[in-house]
Amino acid sequence: MAARKPRRLIGAVVLVVTMLAAGCGYGPNSVSGASDLDTAVVDREAGLIAATVAVPTGFDPHRERTSGERVYYYPVFDRLTRAETGGKIVPMLAASWETAPDAMSMRMSLREGVEFHDGTPFDSAALVASIMRAQHLPDSVVAPFLTTLERIDLVGDHEVVFHYSAPTPDMPTLLAGPAGAMISPAAIADPHRDLRVDPGTAGTGPYLVDRFVPSQTVSYVRAAEKNWDPEAGRLATLEIRYVADDRTRDSAIRAGEIDVSYVNGTGAQAVRQAQLAAQGSTLRLVEEPTNQLAALWVQSDRLTDRRVREALVRGIDRDAIAQGYYQGDCVPSAQLSREGYPGHVDGFSDPYPYDPVKARELAAESGLTNFEITYAAGREALPVITADNLAEIGVDTALRPGTSIEAITAFRTAQTDSFMYSIAPEGTVADTVKWTMADARLSYDDPALAALAEQASRTVDPQERMQINAQLVTALAEAAIFVPICHYNTYFLTASDVVGFDKAINGESQFMMDLRYVGRVGEEGQS
């Protein structure tokens, strides 16, 4: 009789679990099939919850602490232009623009009938107020992108002319980022407004921030008035949560508690997990290429011997990393820009392909025996694999983790030999080189490269521009100031009734998304 008691107990537990399973209702609701934004009947009363690894720390585009803040302020602040996948620049608050043949000025027409949420009209004066703020705010982080901007002339209520001190053909590209974010002049003039903690009604975007819990979550409601962009603001409510742990996001979307989840593409395991989750379920895996390059940035001011840097480039097996560790989720590349993005050179010949024998010789010749890699804590895999590669060529590598900002600061202040960095090119290759040399202070001083980058960014003729860009890409590779590894793809899991998500990602970087066009299929399904 005694032996039966445990069996009864187990039976009772099983029964209770089964009853609970039958009686309760957590998990995804039944959804209709995947649909495209153009053909779907969108439920404008629906809400959506997204989870990502970007931390909500503020909303001020001109004073962003990290680019991760863009995920949170893009639904609120529109820019003058917008970058689509592949880097194509399309109008946003600017209706059209025309760059002068010498690229010393640009005439821009503005969209008419647009108002900020506080009622201030968006016009030429509002544009000037925003650009002046971006350029002159003492702690502006976007001022470096506007260094050539001398003045803006108001030609009409909705027409302006940008004047430059040097040819600036890429200004429309630069205005697709935070430098081109338009903020209400009323908010700019108010000394008590801190846009970092409360954007209020200072934007023209489809959503207003309803609740902000720093470093946790941001809730939005659709702005009451009709948005200038009829395609934007398809949700009644939107919430973007910071959920750092990959598994927690994965569990949440599988359980139907969130509708969009960022999948960590820097770990093949998370991508495989997401692929499994999407198989035979109501979830959809969205995969897009990005222009974000995983690269080992080498302190060329410290490692001045070119042979040392060449040994590092030749000693790291990018194909093995891309195919082995990333299992094809990251595309090996010897140049800054990915195929299909501005500045990519077709038929580029890598001057220093993987050659461990030659790398070992160069390391021995130049006396390279010890090396340091600084990296953002939590992203150990790539530094560890790189250290293993370098061990094979006789180089002993010390790994130094820190927060991402600490790691980059250690590199900038020459406290370390290298920095494992994933760089998202800013516009063209030339702009990125200038940005990395000057504003990002990724510390390398090469007058020839600087001159080429300057020439490439100031050249107006497309054919000539392409040639100089090719020279710049080659010179960059030969200088071996960084070891390009591979371009990441980006991955998101979405509920299958989420539509318009393809427009939310533009390949700028892995976690970047702008949810303005995202909606949900209504009860009646597709039209």
Binding site for another protein (CB under 8 A): 2-3, 5-6, 17, 20-21, 23-27, 57, 63-67, 139, 141, 144, 196-197, 213-217, 243-245, 247-249, 251-252, 254-255, 257, 377, 402-406, 408-409, 413, 439-440
**Judged by CB, which is closer to another protein: 216, or 327?**
216
Query: Given the complex with another protein, which of 223 and 493 has the nearer CB atom?
Result: 493
Nearer to another protein, 163 or 441 (CB): 441
Nearest distance, CB of residue 18 and another protein, angstroms: 9
CA–CA distance from 355 to each of 185, 314, 317, 319, 389 (Å)?
57, 5, 8, 12, 11
Please say which residue, 215 or 279, places its beta carbon nearer to another protein: 215
Q: Which is nearer to another protein, 155 or 213 (CB)?
A: 213
Residue closer to another protein (CB basis): 261 or 489: 261
Task: Report strand pairing: 237-242 vs 47-52.
Answer: parallel
- Give the chain's radius of gyration (CA, Å): 25
Count of positions (residues) in the chain = 527
Can you tell me the distance from the alpha carbon of 346 to that of 332, in angstroms, rounded to the nearest whole number? 14
Contact in structure between 424 and 508 (CB atoms under 8 Å):
yes
DSSP for 146-195?
GTTEEEEEEEETTEEEEEESS--TTHHHHTTSGGGB---HHHHH-TT--T
CA distance 132 to 439: 19
What is the CA 169 to chain-centroid distance, rounded?
23
Query: From the CB of residue 384, how many other CB atoms can be counted at a distance below 10 Å?
Result: 15
Minimal distance, residue 287 CB to another protein, in Å: 23
Nearest C-alpha neighbor of 69 from the set 499, 520, 511, 502: 511
Shorter beta-carbon distance to another protein: residue 281 or 455: 281
Nearer to another protein, 370 or 403 (CB): 403
What is the DSSP track for 359-414? HHHHHHHHT--EEEEEEETT--HHHHHHHHHHHHTT-EEEEEEE-HHHHHHHHHTT
Q: Token digits for 252?
A: 């949440």
Q: Which is nearer to another protein, 249 or 318 (CB)?
A: 249
In the complex, what is the shortest distance from the CB of residue 214 to another protein, in angstroms, rounded to a whole number?
4
**What is residue 81's DSSP assignment?**
E
Count of H-run helices and E-run strands, the chain? 15, 20
What is the sign of the dihedral through the CA atoms of 115, 118, 120 and 125? negative
Beta bridge partners of 262: 492
Smaller CB distance to another protein: residue 57 or 471? 57
Euclidean distance between CA atoms 44 and 237, whole angstroms = 9
At closest approach, how far in Å is the CB of 452 from another protein? 24
**What would the DSSP string read from start to end of 16-71?**
HHHHHHHH---SPPP------TTTEEE-TT-EEEEEESS------GGG-SSGGGHH
Q: What is the DSSP letter of 321?
A: I
